[in-house]
């Protein structure tokens, strides 16, 4: 199954993908995670994209596509994958659609106010990528990642000024993908306001019947 998760930054794509991945046995491929890991490890890619991510803009299409296609050739992606954060522009979608066909695009929908506070309250573990929310889903022990013992922190791009820029970029460059995949009858809408567990359950039953 080739699945794509679509929705604003903060709609919960990453949280959903992390728990869905083991349930459906498909790798979670997040371009944001790939870029952040590269920055964390100071690789050539990391140096190239660091200021772009910090500003809330998008990494150039060509670079993003080549990173994704390289990742998709790895053996674990042969049976399918959960794409999180890609494609994110119409040119990326067109490049992708020429190579493969998605089975479904899971669109997560929520109101703007919740969206913004989810981002500004979010904490992420720099070592394993686990996602937390200061108020609603804090780590069990303060400042200690449940999964790996790392220290969850705020992402630099989750500060309010950058959040606004990212949402602006989403509506300008990414939201047109809804129409693009609606025309191909791939869009399936889900209410992203429900609890992570309820959303997971709903998406899992949907995928079982796909």
Question: Can you tell me the distance from the alpha carbon of 85 to that of 14, in angstroms, rounded to the nearest whole number?
Answer: 9
Nearer to Zn ion, 130 or 207 (CB): 130
What residues have CB less than 8 Å from 89, skipping those under 6 apart?
Answer: 58, 61, 173, 174, 177
63/49 Cα distance (integer angstroms): 10
CA dihedral of 20, 59, 118, 4, whole degrees rounded to 10: -30
What is the C-alpha to C-alpha distance for residues 27 and 32, in angstroms, rounded to an integer?
15
State yes or no: 13 annotated in a binding site.
yes
Asked if 128 interacts with Zn ion (CB under 5 A), we say: yes
65 is in an annotated binding site: no
Binding flag, residue 9, Zn ion (CB under 5 A)? no
- Residue 153 in contact with Zn ion, rule: CB under 5 A: no
Asked whether position 148 contacts Zn ion by CB under 5 A, the answer is yes
172 is in an annotated binding site: no
Q: By CB under 5 A, which span of 12-20, 99-107, 121-129, 180-188 interacts with Zn ion?
A: 121-129
Burial class of residue 51, CB neighbours in 10 A (0-12, 13-18, 19+): exposed
Question: Active-site residue among 71, 118, 155, 186?
Answer: 155
Residue among 69, 109, 113 at smallest CA distance from 92: 69
- Tell the smallest beta-carbon distance from residue 141 to ligand ADP (Å): 25
What is the contact surface with ligand ADP in residues (CB under 6 A)?
A: 9-10, 31-32, 35, 52-53, 56-59, 64, 85-86, 88, 92, 157, 166
Q: Does 130 bind Zn ion (CB under 5 A)?
A: yes
Which has the closest alpha carbon to 187: 172, 175, 170, 205?
Answer: 175
To the nearest whole angstrom, how small is the minimum distance from the Cβ of residue 104 to Zn ion?
29
Q: Residue ranges for the binding site for AMP?
A: 31, 36, 57-59, 85-88, 92, 155, 166
Q: Could you list the active site residues?
A: 13, 88, 122, 155, 166
Q: Residue ranges for the binding site for Zn(2+)?
A: 125, 128, 145, 148
């Amino acid at each position: 199954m080739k699945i794509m998760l679509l929705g604003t930054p903060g709609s919960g794509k990453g949280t959903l993908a992390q728990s869905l991945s083991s349930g459906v046995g498909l790798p979670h491929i997040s371009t944001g995670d790939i870029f952040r890991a590269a920055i964390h490890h100071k690789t050539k890619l990391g140096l190239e994209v660091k200021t772009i991510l910090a500003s809330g803009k998008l990494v150039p299409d060509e670079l993003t596509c080549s990173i994704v296609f390289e990742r998709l050739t790895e053996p674990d992606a042969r049976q399918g994958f959960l794409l999180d954060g890609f494609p994110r522009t119409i040119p990326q979608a067109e490049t992708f659609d020429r190579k493969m066909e998605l089975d479904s695009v899971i669109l997560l929908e929520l109101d703007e106010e919740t969206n913004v506070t989810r981002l500004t309250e979010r904490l992420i573990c720099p070592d394993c990528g686990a996602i937390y929310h200061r108020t609603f889903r804090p780590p069990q022990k303060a400042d200690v990642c449940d999964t790996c013992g790392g220290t969850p922190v705020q992402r630099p791009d989750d500060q309010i000024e950058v959040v606004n820029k990212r949402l602006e970029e989403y509506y300008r460059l990414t939201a047109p993908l809804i129409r693009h995949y609606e025309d191909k009858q791939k869009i399936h809408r889900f209410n992203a306001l429900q609890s992570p567990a309820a959303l997971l359950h709903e998406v899992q039953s949907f995928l079982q019947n796909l």
